[in-house]
Structure 1
Amino acid sequence: MEPLLGPEENRTQSLPLIPTGKGSTEERKRFYQNVSISQGEGGFEINLDHRKLKTPQAKLFTVPSEALAIAVATEWDSQKDTIKFYTMHLTTLCNTALDNPTQRSKMQLIRAAVKFLETDTVCYRVEEPPALAELQKNEWDPIVAWAEERYNVAIGSSTSILGPNIPASTKDTFVSHLASYNMWALQGIEYIITQLKSLILSMGVIDRHITVEKAVLLSRLEEEYQIQRWGNVEWAHDYDLCELRARAAAGTLFVHLCSESTTVKHKLLQD
């Protein structure tokens, strides 16, 4: 593999980062030995052999908290001989927050998240078969009831293909609640929602009401029912389940690390 930086470029202490967008299957031979973090003017930076990481849009890869920087550095440090960019969910989320490729404002992010209520997985119910309808009632009703009590809203559910009729006041309440998060955290919230196809499950995870494993199971309830009834393709089910858990867990960790003001005072990575 050709050197990523020549002798002259090495002095600039910067390192272009290969894009790690959603669905990326990029891999590359590992070209660094040590991973570390440092504090700069704009926040905490990631260093690969003392060269600073950059985003796909060539911005300096800088994150707002030491804890998040350590988590991202751990992703890079855990790569073996081959860098599998598609496994680096925290790095991808940071790239999205820094580059904002869709150029959306905070309110646009919030409204996109709240719009998921109209098609929320746990609000769509079936009437047939009765066993699946009963399973949905038993498993989804409690999380909907929790959300209604937690946020003092009305949500409900529906067997209509049009979905439930979500009151405008409910949407306004969620808009106000999400406005309390910063732009970085909102990117993470939207990421979780797109994985679980549910704002309600996502808020349950973020609020620590349910675990990531539970949220993933609830989001895949109908699929799990069909698998138990008809069986599944060998390995495919377990792989998809693990991938979804990894993405949802990364998004949840990202939100928490972007929302907390405390910093990690101990060094996690050792040279």
Structure 2
Amino acid sequence: MSEWKARRFWDAATVEKADQGHTVHLDGRPVRTPAKRPLVVPTEALAREIAAEWDAQEGVIDPRAMPFTQSANAAIDKVAVQKDEVADMIAAYGESDLLCYRAEAPAELAARQAAEWTPYLDWAESDLSAPLIAVNGVMPHPQDPRAVRALRERVRAQDIFALTALHDLVSLSGSLILGLAAQMGRAAPEELWRVSRVDEDWQREQWGDDEEAAALAARKKAAFLHAARFFVLSRD
């Protein structure tokens, strides 16, 4: 038996005002999330991106070609119902941030990590009130509880759309500091992604390209850049 797949049933997707934001209508009918909640997003710009994804569908609906719709669904159906838990999970990255664990050898890699990562730790201390300690090796090292608390409070203060974006920015890069830097415009998302890949780029330079690893890295980069864009579009 062949699997049933939803097909396009509407002529036009339009953006409409809604309580607490904007929504998308398909021939006058409001779009709902997979959990049947109203799909209401905070800005017209984000709603227009979502409407464009629905308008671009032809024949069978392909959710994979609708990343902004998927992110909005995740914010409404998943993050909203467990906001504190999601925030704490993201904030926990501050206790073992990628930028804090440096190679003991070779010296060239350690120097590259220091050059690329230390400026962001300095920024975390000056702008986020979160001085984190960098150590050599991969063994867990406790951070100052005051720094961890400052990061947690900053994460917990975010709305569900910002948290949805931050979750991907942090989990993909391995760094809460780089995720917050993306949200706060400290550097371009492409640059922040490059900074997060110091170790991988070093390995590639030493051993050459691996086709499978390169494909995975490309998918992760695209997801990271999407999360950054989703965050920007969700702001007023």
TM range (shorter): 0.7 to 0.9
Letter in 1 for 2:78: N
Provide the rounded CA distance (Å) in 1 between the counterparts of 2:97 and 2:66: 27
More helix by share: 2
Deviations 1:211-253 (A, max 9, x none): 111111122211111111211134751x434322322222223
Tell me whether 151-160 or 166-175 shows the greater mean CA deviation. 151-160
Cα distance, 1:79 vs structure 2? 4.3
Matched with 2:50 is: 72
Matched, 1:37 2:15: yes
Matched, 1:165 2:142: yes
1:108-119 aligned within 5 A: 108-119=85-96
Matched with 1:90 is: 68
Q: Report SS of the residue matched to 1:165.
A: coil
Q: Match for 1:207 among 180, 184, 191?
A: 184
Provide the rounded CA distance (Å) in 1 between the counterparts of 2:58 and 2:209: 31
Matched with 1:121 is: 98
What residue ranges of structure 2 are gaps of 5+ in the alignment? none
Matched, 1:50 2:28: yes
TM-score (norm 2): 0.86
1:97-108 aligned within 5 A: 97-100=75-78, 103-105=81-83, 107-108=84-85
Deviations 1:51-75 (A, max 9, x none): 3322111222222221211122223
Matched, 1:240 2:219: no
1:180-199 aligned within 5 A: 180-199=157-176
Q: Is the 8 A contact 1:212 1:245 kept in 2?
A: no
* CA RMSD between the two structures: 2.5
Letter in 1 for 2:180: M
Matched with 1:219 is: 196
What residue ranges of structure 1 are gaps of 5+ in the alignment? 5-26, 261-271
Number of aligned residue pairs = 233
Cα distance, 1:28 vs structure 2? 6.3
Matched with 1:15 is: none
Cα distance, 1:135 vs structure 2? 1.4
Deviations 1:133-155 (A, max 9, x none): 22111111112112211113310
Provide the rounded CA distance (Å) in 1 between the counterparts of 2:198 and 2:59: 37
Letter in 2 for 1:65: T
Provide the rounded CA distance (Å) in 2 between the counterparts of 1:116 and 1:43: 31
Aligned CA distance change for structure 1 residues 79 and 152 (closer, same or farther; 3 Å):
same
Deviations 1:88-111 (A, max 9, x none): 322122111211278313x33322
Q: Is the 8 A contact 1:42 1:62 kept in 2?
A: yes
Q: Is the 8 A contact 2:189 2:225 kept in 1?
A: yes
Q: Is the 8 A contact 1:123 1:163 kept in 2?
A: no
Aligned CA distance change for structure 1 residues 229 and 250 (closer, same or farther; 3 Å):
same
Provide the rounded CA distance (Å) in 2 between the counterparts of 1:108 and 1:101: 9
Tell me whether 38-47 or 92-101 shows the greater mean CA deviation. 38-47
Cα distance, 1:199 vs structure 2? 0.2
